[in-house]
Amino acid sequence: MPPKRTTTSAAPAMTQVAIRQLVVDSVAAALEAQAATMASTSNPNKNTGPTRTPVAKTGSYKEFISCQPFYFNEENKVTFSTRTLTDDALSWWNAYAQPIGIDRANRITWTELKRLLTNKYCPRTKVRKMEDELYNLTVKGNDLKPYVRRFQELAVLCPNMVPNTEKLLEAFIRGLPRSIEGNVTASKPQTLKETIKIAQRLMD
């Protein structure tokens, strides 16, 4: 019978700092590889294939929203979101970040990033249509979840409609049923998350 192990020490758990550093290192390596690929594409001495970069597909807002950047805090929304860009969107971001440096580019506000993305990928007619939808959005029946989901999507896509927390909360409360709208306002919530909880409790 083999002897029993007497040690109880487990492998040390990774800290959040170590995890973040792994992500940063991985992204840096990927960006270096991408830069090398792009450099060799335009250099005929290094590339025997076509001398121009193939046209990449354009990313969509649906793909951007699928990562639900709304739930990240203000400090890491920009960094996370820009690190998930691919193809044409990644090339656009690199062209924006290169002249000012990646550190400075990642320090722009979430509102500014939304504005840049909207200007680049969303025609004004489409923006106006989404702004109209956001303005007229209301809770249907007693189910708050579809309203919350669509409101958050439109709030990200229409930064001019909700430029700050106060306007964001006003727009959200405006779409609630009249029977609870006054009570939610009277509760004086400070964040959208708090407002949603109050509205859900009142509707339940």
Would you place residue 7 in the very low, low, confident or very high pLDDT band (cuts 50, 70, 90)? very low
- Of 103, 121, 139, which closes a domain? 121
More confident: 51 or 113: 113
Asked if 28 contacts 106 with a C-beta cutoff of 8 angstroms, the reply is no
Same domain, 104 and 147: no
More confident residue, 204 or 192: 192
Instruction: List the structure tokens of 118.
Output: 């909207």
What percent of the chain is modeled with pLDDT above 90? 28
Higher pLDDT, 59 or 167: 167
Please indicate, yes or no, if residue 26 is contained in any of the structural domains: no
Helix, strand, coil: what percent of the chain each, to 5? 65, 0, 35
- pLDDT at residue 58, as a whole number: 43
Domain shared by 77 and 98, yes or no = yes
Domain count, the chain: 2
In tens, the pLDDT along 95-153 reads 999 998 888 888 888 888 888 887 888 778 888 898 999 999 999 988 899 999 999 98
CA-nearest of 172, 168, 158, 161 to 200 is: 172
Instruction: Report helix, strand or coil for 137.
Output: coil
| Domain limits for position 135 | 124-203
At residue 16, the pLDDT reads 66
> What long-range pairs does 170-176 form, CB within 8 A, spacing at least 24?
171/134, 171/135, 172/196, 173/199, 175/137, 175/138, 175/139, 175/147, 175/151, 176/138, 176/139
Q: Are residues 79 and 92 in the same domain?
A: yes
For 160-197, the pLDDT digits (tens) are: 888 888 999 999 999 999 999 999 999 999 999 999 99
Domain boundary among 97, 121, 145: 121
Rg (CA), the chain: 23
Q: What is the DSSP letter of 108?
A: S
Q: What pLDDT, on the 0 to 100 scale, is given for residue 177?
A: 92
Ranking 35-39, 150-154, 155-159 by mean pLDDT, the lowest is 35-39
CB 173 within 8 A of CB 149: no
Q: Whole-angstrom distance between the N-terminal and C-terminal Cα of the chain? A: 61
CA 36, 38, 41, 45 torsion: positive or negative? negative
- Whether residue 199 is contained in a domain is answered as yes
175 shares a domain with 198: yes
What is the distance between the alpha carbons of residues 194 and 115, in angstroms, rounded to a whole number? 26
Is the predicted pLDDT of residue 18 greater than 80, yes or no? no
